[in-house]
Amino acid sequence: MSDVQTIVDGPVGRIRLNRPKALHALTNDMCVAMLAALDAWRTDPAIEAVLIDHAEGRGFCAGGDIRMLAESGAQDGAEARAFFHTEYRLNHRLFTYAKPTVAFMDGITMGGGVGLACPCDFRIATENTKFAMPETGIGLFPDVGGGWYLSRLPGRIGQYLALTGHRLDGAECHALGLATHYLPSAALLEGKARIVADPQAIAAILADLSVAPPPARLLDQREAIDRLFASDVLEDIFAALAADGGNWATQTLATLKTKSPQTMKVSLRLLHEGAMMPTFEDEMRQEYAVGARVVQRHDFLEGVRAVIVDKDNAPRWDPATPEGVTDHVIDQIFAPLPDAEAWTPA
């Protein structure tokens, strides 16, 4: 059975992630298959909309093939760059797609799953949704458009999510606009069937099946997040959290101290520049240049070792502190690639 199923269901093109043992984490072949389907349906007048969901299991999509990226990064990085190039083309194709797209974020939606869901016109959260960009915990950064989406969240919530990797539930996704609708998971089958029957009525169908979400608990911390994460300088955020001294600030600082200082600084710069990016294509070009370099740096290889390979959860970051990560290093990571190596849309 294929890791991704692309089928035509009446007037609807359907993409179904089908790698349940890996929580539907994306491989290069899966991205290639999805791109090919989207390209075929784009000019097919019989296809009126596209649905993206997952087969069995508790995840919509847990991310990308991290182990492959690390193994490639430890060598010449070519396979990792090829994966990013294809994945980002898929993200961009969805972002610019002319036909309505619907993503069902029922379950774990992290990393590469965020990159699939966020460009879609309709994004459905449920009581099972667990949405996060946890990359700084393995020496990566919130890519697949994270610099675009997170920088456009209210206040400094995007910076908080990018640095801490905090998991949002479905209600919080809806409150922040990351999800357009909140449905009980029990209603998803009916929703998909009704969309296939009448793809011109997607908005009305989802509105009809929506329920009031529970309170968005993260918004209780909105004032603290905006105040303590106000700076784009990581050292300032650490100092503000330390000076606050409250329980929430203390716990948040302890979380940040487990993350890669280097890629936390990369993330802050990514969101700062992402907020000013003129187009999503520009964002993906920048993220590709950053990703091509970060996968070959010590912190990513060490983060994967600690979290995924040895599972000791004790990464030895280098540099070990924010102060040790110089502006010069961040400038090198963000330098544009030569034209012959740069990312291009499909």
Bridge partners, 8 (sequence order): 13
Range 214-220, long-range pairs (CB < 8 A, 24+ positions)? 214/169, 214/171, 215/171, 216/171, 216/172, 216/174, 216/175, 216/176, 217/169, 217/171, 217/172, 218/157, 218/166, 218/168, 218/172, 218/175, 218/176, 219/172, 219/175
Q: Give me the percent of the chain exceeding a pLDDT of 90.
A: 98
pLDDT of residue 270: 98
Q: What is the mean pLDDT of residues 229-233?
A: 98
Q: Look at residue 168 and give its three-state secondary structure.
A: strand
- What is the distance between the alpha carbons of residues 21 and 86, in angstroms, rounded to a whole number? 23
pLDDT of residue 341: 97
- CATH number, domain of 181, equals 3.90.226.10
pLDDT of residue 171: 98
- What is the distance between the alpha carbons of residues 56 and 214, in angstroms, rounded to a whole number? 26
Q: What is the mean pLDDT of residues 209-226?
A: 98
Q: Which amino acid is at 50?
A: V
Q: What is the mean pLDDT of residues 75-87?
A: 97
Cα 330 to Cα 152, 262, 290, 301, 326, distances in angstroms: 22, 8, 9, 18, 7
Contacts of 150 (CB under 8 A, 6+ apart): 133, 142, 158, 159, 161, 162, 271, 274
Confidence tier at 249 by pLDDT (50, 70, 90): very high
Contact 290, 270 (CB under 8 A): yes
pLDDT reading at 1 higher than 80? no
**Residue 14 phi/psi, 5° resolution?**
-120, 130
Q: Give me the percent of the chain exceeding a pLDDT of 70.
A: 100
C-alpha angle with apex 15: 11 to 18, nearest 5 degrees? 145
Q: What is the mean pLDDT of residues 115-141?
A: 98
List, by residue number, the catalytic residues: 64, 112, 135, 143
Q: What is the mean pLDDT of residues 241-268?
A: 98
pLDDT of residue 343: 98
pLDDT of residue 58: 83
pLDDT of residue 200: 97
Confidence tier at 77 by pLDDT (50, 70, 90): very high
pTM, to two decimals: 0.97
pLDDT reading at 18 higher than 80? yes
- What is the distance between the alpha carbons of residues 47 and 295, in angstroms, rounded to a whole number? 38
Judge residue 257's burial from the number of C-beta atoms within 10 Å of its C-beta, 0-12 exposed, 13-18 middle, 19 or more buried: middle
pLDDT reading at 20 higher than 90? yes
- What is the distance between the alpha carbons of residues 301 and 281, in angstroms, rounded to a whole number? 28
Confidence tier at 133 by pLDDT (50, 70, 90): very high
Confidence tier at 56 by pLDDT (50, 70, 90): confident
Q: What is the mean pLDDT of residues 280-301?
A: 97
- Domain range for 233 is 1-346
Give the DSSP letter string of 262-299.
Answer: HHHHHHHHHHHHHTT-SSHHHHHHHHHHHHHHHTTSHH
Mean pLDDT of the chain: 97
Number of domains in the chain: 1
pLDDT of residue 73: 94
